[in-house]
Structure 1
Amino acid sequence: MTPCLAALCATLPRLGKALTLYTYPDNWRAFKAQIAAQYSGARLKVASNPPAFTFGQTNRAPAFLNNFPLGKVPAYQGDDGFCLFESNAIAHYLSNDALRGATPQAAAQVLQWVSFADAEIIPPASAWVFPTLGIMQFNKQATEQAKEEVKKVLAVLNQHLNTRTFLVGERVSLADISVVCSMLWLYKQVLEPSFRQPYPNVTRWFVTCVNQPQFKAVLGEVRLCEKMAQFDAKKFAEMQPKKETPQKKEKGGKEAAKPQEKKEKKKEEKKPAAAPAAEEMDECEAALAAEPKAKDPFAHLPKSTFVMDEFKRKYSNEDTLTVAIPHFWEHFDTEGYSIWYSQYKYSNELAATFMSCNLITGMFQRLDKLRKNAFASVILFGTNNDSCISGIWIFRGQDLAFTLSEDWQIDYESYDWRKMDPNSEECKTMVKEYFSWEGEFKHVGKPFNQGKIFK
């Protein structure tokens, strides 16, 4: 950060500027900025309710999109016209030097833990917690995997906090604020006493933080869950947008039209009754359910004869070598789909193997919306401090699917990609090896460690 920006940030509390944070109620991402403002003394106005801000309306208005092109919240605007989106940037801007890290080393450590929260905590926390809130369909395999990832995260934090009160230094920093907010719904929804018992240092630190006056001013009283919340199918169904059934054409002229008019009146009478229920949805990320469905990134492609879901069922439920792989080659559409080999670019930076596995899992979780049109088997080879990551990917179309959506572009540039010829012996061998997790893997030169499937 440049000296002039640092000076500007440091003077925010004294200037008393009109600082506005647009968000929806109980947005944990917005909490980061609000807590930072409590510590720095910045006078932050939170616009989260009508008429100041109506989620789904205000953030889609031309004036709002002119300042915040993505239309996402939280979004920050000062009376001097300075605007910011992305919660970490906003929280950083509203912090003081003590929160950001007073030395270059401390600042780097703060950034480390902010990144840790985004990459290691949020993906598994979302996969586990969102179904319990009714805003995501339950998947047993994904939930169990998320639980294991959360355990690894808690173990890392527990070890780090064994001799520390806070994550960086002797006082609360932006590192603590970010990690606490990313874990907030874990502790409120699913981390029951028996689950959190092996990680006493983390719970001690979390409770210490949320009971600081600056945290309490934003979060209120945080109650740790006593019983792990479970998926409620009825609640999930209620959260889904209602589909209107098309009206049938009536015959018989005016007389037949009268019953139809009565039906329409009844529908109009019911609409106001349903509105309050939607307005009362204030749980974490519940507002996302109101977002319109995004355009299908693959809509421009012609239909394919290869049914991805059918292959995935074979792969999940039947023998890989004798059933799934033969089925794949028998039905694979070389014009509608493509096969790619990926290799992680920065193998020299890979340390502990469990952290490398987290790297793979985190990427898969962030690509959840790509599942219907892709399949991948990615494997970690080697041992601690001497490993590499590579895999085989199947995509709809002939190009890398990541370029079709901004939501999919987070991790893929960390890999080298090579399109393969489905008719080559090399491709057939590698598909067999990566799909079955066994073989010589001559192109790797390291022992097989662990694989992960994106399906």
Structure 2
Amino acid sequence: MAAGTLYTYPENWRAFKALIAAQYSGAKVQVASSPPQFHFGQTNKTPDFLKKFPLGKVPAFQGDDGFCLFESNAIAHYLGSDALRGSSKEAAAQVLQWMSFADSEIVPPASAWVFPTLGIMQYNKQATELAKEEVRRLLELLNEHLKSRTFLVGERVSLADISVACALLWLYKQVLEPAFRQPFPNTNRWFSTCINQPQFRAVLGEVRLCEKMAQFDAKKFSEMQPKKEGAPKKEKASKEAKPQPEKKEKKASAAEEEEELDDCEAALASEPKSKDPFADLPKSTFVLDEFKRKYSNEDTLKVALPHFWEHFDREGYSIWYGEYKYPEDLTLTFMSCNLIAGMFQRLEKLRKNAFGSVILFGENNNGSISGIWVFRGQDLAFTLSPDWQIDYESYTWRKLAVDSEECKTMVKEYFAWEGDFTHVGKPFCQGKIFK
């Protein structure tokens, strides 16, 4: 079974393909998408990274055995199962056909339409209208193909479905409002079926379909421009001086078009400046990273826990208990663990201000999930940023009284993964640490 590290930036739809494929196959993949493990724009330009991945692009995968891959389709193919790749020579060829279709047919018009609404590309009315018509044509093509099919190839999800669904993801989230997508019921049904598979949800979380078509935001676009310096500015000035020739030149060269998309994805990775939800809190005496090092490298009960209680700042931090609301939906244990892993991946930017231990109890078809979280400040951290709200509503949350016996017992049991867990009533199965 494959195992290794996937280097990417947060919310990279190309990386989603590989991570969803890994969910189906059971491949063990660690995601490096934020400092210090990976800093997009810096880490991927270092000599060491370029020696392994000469293009410096992400996603990039390095196996625990040293095997390296770039290009998202190759990584998804490697991390996927035989069933995902196609059960016959013919099916495998069809899977490859749809993966190529996603990259060559869907991505260009989707980018031209969606990127301006995200503020990372200048709006061009003609280009946007052409993109809309092209997307409409592609949705109709898929709608016809799916008229008598549940999935694109065969009777089960394949890499074809994963690739095409991920390529359509931003369209469905950002611009395909109900009136636009209404004529394509088969495509909509297929897309909804895909994103609600447990393996998709473990990576994507709950996907909220667009209710109102997003428009170009000139203010957001202006705010993001200072991040691009030097040559890009010169290119922008050239576009303003000669809009028509630039347009023709872009269409004339596929290589330049690809480079343009790469620039936009780089802009997508470098998010606009937003206020740190924890910026106004007074400095704390509790150094969370120091505790995390103790927890990772030394005995939990003898060293890490005593350190935690000796240095814990009751004013600067709070402790919360969270319990999954829908235990009846927990079937196979590996799928239940995927729910936890998916939540952790989507909380990447919360790591420096949080620590959590989440445990799956019980067995197949009789499980429960609960955990103890430590957050900077006195509020439930998930509510402080829209980026952190995808999963938290699936849990009930209760703030613990730090000096109570209940809190001390729970912290000890959940951090050490051992104890009576009398409030659960099920045996320990597996645990995951957010740190």
Equivalent residue, structure 1, for 2:87 = 102
Equivalent residue, structure 2, for 1:300 = none
8 Å Cα contact 1:138-1:231 kept in structure 2: yes
Equivalent residue, structure 1, for 2:246 = 371
Q: State the shift of 1:199 in Å.
A: 0.1
Equivalent residue, structure 1, for 2:19 = 34
String of CA shifts for 1:203-249, please: whole Å, max 9, x gaps.
1100110000000000000010110000010011011116xxxxxxx
Equivalent residue, structure 1, for 2:192 = 207
Q: For the structure 1 residues 96 and 49, does the alpha-carbon distance in structure 2 shift closer, same or farther, using more than 3 Å as the test? A: same
Equivalent residue, structure 2, for 1:56 = 41
Q: State the shift of 1:291 in Å.
A: 8.8
8 Å Cα contact 2:85-2:92 kept in structure 1: yes
Name which of 55, 72, 79 aligns with 1:70: 55
In structure 1, how many angstroms separate the alpha carbons of the residues matched to 2:25 and 2:164?
18
**Structure 1: gaps of 5 or more residues:** 1-10, 243-289, 298-306, 314-369, 377-392, 394-400, 409-455
Name which of 142, 157, 161 aligns with 2:127: 142
In structure 2, how many angstroms separate the alpha carbons of the residues matched to 1:226 and 1:240?
28
Equivalent residue, structure 1, for 2:210 = 225
8 Å Cα contact 2:250-2:257 kept in structure 1: no
Q: For the structure 1 residues 402 and 26, does the alpha-carbon distance in structure 2 shift closer, same or farther, using more than 3 Å as the test? A: closer
Secondary structure at 2:30 match in 1: strand
Percent identity for Structure 1 against Structure 2: 71
**Matching residue's letter, 1:239:** M
Q: For the structure 1 residues 203 and 229, does the alpha-carbon distance in structure 2 shift closer, same or farther, using more than 3 Å as the test? A: same
8 Å Cα contact 1:309-1:372 kept in structure 2: no
In structure 1, how many angstroms separate the alpha carbons of the residues matched to 2:185 and 2:159?
22
**Matching residue's letter, 2:125:** K
- Residue 167 (1) aligns with residue 152 (2): yes
Name which of 72, 93, 115 aligns with 1:130: 115
- Residue 88 (1) aligns with residue 73 (2): yes
Equivalent runs, 1:286-301 vs 2, <5 Å = 293=231
In structure 2, how many angstroms separate the alpha carbons of the residues matched to 1:76 and 1:216?
22
String of CA shifts for 1:331-358, please: whole Å, max 9, x gaps.
xxxxxxxxxxxxxxxxxxxxxxxxxxxx
8 Å Cα contact 1:56-1:291 kept in structure 2: no
Secondary structure at 2:219 match in 1: helix
In structure 2, how many angstroms separate the alpha carbons of the residues matched to 1:149 and 1:206?
18
Q: For the structure 1 residues 69 and 221, does the alpha-carbon distance in structure 2 shift closer, same or farther, using more than 3 Å as the test? A: same
- Residue 196 (1) aligns with residue 181 (2): yes
Name which of 139, 153, 164 aligns with 1:154: 139
Equivalent residue, structure 1, for 2:99 = 114
**Matching residue's letter, 2:136:** K
8 Å Cα contact 1:109-1:168 kept in structure 2: yes
8 Å Cα contact 2:239-2:246 kept in structure 1: no
Equivalent residue, structure 1, for 2:277 = none
Larger radius of gyration: 1
- Residue 22 (1) aligns with residue 7 (2): yes
String of CA shifts for 1:48-98, please: whole Å, max 9, x gaps.
111111111111111111111111100000122111111111111111110
Q: For the structure 1 residues 403 and 135, does the alpha-carbon distance in structure 2 shift closer, same or farther, using more than 3 Å as the test? A: closer
**Matching residue's letter, 1:198:** P
- Residue 177 (1) aligns with residue 135 (2): no
**Matching residue's letter, 1:36:** A
Equivalent residue, structure 1, for 2:322 = none
String of CA shifts for 1:187-214, please: whole Å, max 9, x gaps.
0000000000000001110011000000
In structure 2, how many angstroms separate the alpha carbons of the residues matched to 1:164 and 1:405?
34
TM-score by length of 2: 0.55
Equivalent runs, 1:386-397 vs 2, <5 Å = none
8 Å Cα contact 2:13-2:166 kept in structure 1: yes
In structure 2, how many angstroms separate the alpha carbons of the residues matched to 1:218 and 1:310?
44
Q: State the shift of 1:403 in Å.
A: 8.3
Secondary structure at 1:241 match in 2: helix
Q: State the shift of 1:374 in Å.
A: 3.0
In structure 1, how many angstroms separate the alpha carbons of the residues matched to 2:92 and 2:38?
34
Aligned length: 258
Q: State the shift of 1:119 in Å.
A: 1.1
Secondary structure at 1:76 match in 2: strand
Q: For the structure 1 residues 173 and 235, does the alpha-carbon distance in structure 2 shift closer, same or farther, using more than 3 Å as the test? A: same
8 Å Cα contact 2:107-2:167 kept in structure 1: yes
In structure 2, how many angstroms separate the alpha carbons of the residues matched to 1:406 and 1:27?
17
String of CA shifts for 1:109-157, please: whole Å, max 9, x gaps.
0011001101111000000000000000000000000000000000000
RMSD: 2.8
8 Å Cα contact 1:308-1:373 kept in structure 2: no
